[in-house]
Amino acid sequence: MKIQELHKQYGPIVRISPFEVHINDPQYHETVYSLTSPRNKSEWFLKYLNVPKSTFATVDHKLHRLRRSAISPYFSKQKVQGLEPLLRGKVKKLCGRVREFSGTGKPLMIEHAYTCFMTDIITEYTCPQCWNYLDIPDLFPEWHKTIKDVMEIGMITRHIPWAIVPLFFLPEWFVSRTFPKVMRTKKYRQKCDEVARAVFQGSKAKDDTLEGEPSTHPPLFNGLANARLPPEERTEERVNHEIVSLIGAGTETTANTLAVITFHVLDKPQILNRLRNELGNTGVIFEGLRLSYGLSHRSQRSSPEGPLYYKDIKIPPNTPVGMTSVMIHHDESIFPRSHDFIPERWTDLQERKILNKYLVAFGRGSRQCVGMK
């Protein structure tokens, strides 16, 4: 990692571009990602998502707080506990799909299974209708590719915003053959467009669901369309951006964490045996989160109301300051043998409290992942 090399050469604070600073000091993380002080995000960095009206990609601190207030009730501990029947049903279906591969000699791409699994959970809870990707016979490898493609294409458009735009106006058969990643991304956005339209058609119903569509819980996106927000925050485009953001982020990160845990549990029989004997032990989950990183890239914050101070260095207001979860999770002074999967490091409750401070897979501060519960 180039940033890591720069820190080894120049120390814990490095100016990595004309307008951005990167800090490698776990003790400073809670200052950058403050829970109490206003923090804006980097507009340049968020370009790759192309969903500026989503909560995740909102730059301004105050506007983010307004948008988050509309969705956070759906991710409260009480709400999540109420989803247990839904989760059990999806887990049962996932296990059934995995058993289908037993004795066939065919490889099971566990990431594909988990991607479909998480998509079905998220869409069941947030959309008027579940996408039912677990029902697709081959576990829909194209969908897993799509999630990866969205991120990869975004890295290009962050630097060259106009690079992909012309391709959206070319015939689909041509784009599909020559730029399949762009085509998959386009189809995903089109599907989210359809969901947004369905939300606004169904939001007129008294029970916040599509007419004739039974639901034991009002879908999140229907609630967002009817939330007590200013009119400009209840547009179809705004809901569309939230759909793209929540489904994309909630699917990829969690599916990746589950895949990392599965690999290490199966790779080390002693971990599997311990997990079976101590199902209440959450060390495996904590260690899986640590080694899957959440968002592995740097995520900048800026202080709009005053400068930040790192030791004797003054960082001017509105300067993007980033830190990287990968570097914190592999800090050997905090996590010895950091590249090894060691659930035992989380066993002692006092030690766990200390380590939790440096487990930043969900981010920290007022913009911490809304779905972490």
Binding residue positions for heme: 369
Distances in whole angstroms, Cα of residue 17 to Cα of each of 14, 22, 31, 32, 174:
9, 9, 21, 18, 38
Measured between alpha carbons, how far is 373 from 84 in angstroms, rounded to an integer? Answer: 13
Angle at 107 between CA 105 and CA 112, to 5 degrees: 150
Q: Any residues with CB less than 8 A from the CB of 345 and at least 6 apart, and which?
A: 283, 287, 335, 336, 351, 355
Q: Which two tokens stand for residue 361?
A: 């897979």
- The pair of three-digit structure tokens given for residue 65, joined into one six-digit string: 């707080």
Query: Are 250 and 119 contacting, i.e. CB atoms less than 8 angstroms apart?
Result: no
Write out the binding residues: 369
Question: What beta strand segments (E) does 85-187 contain?
Answer: none
Are 191 and 133 in contact, with CB atoms under 8 Å apart?
no
Query: 42 near 53, Cβ under 8 Å?
Result: no
Mapping DSSP to helix (H, G, I), strand (E, B) and coil, where does residue 273 land? Answer: helix
d(CA 247, CA 119): 7
Name residue 126's amino acid: T
d(CA 245, CA 91): 24
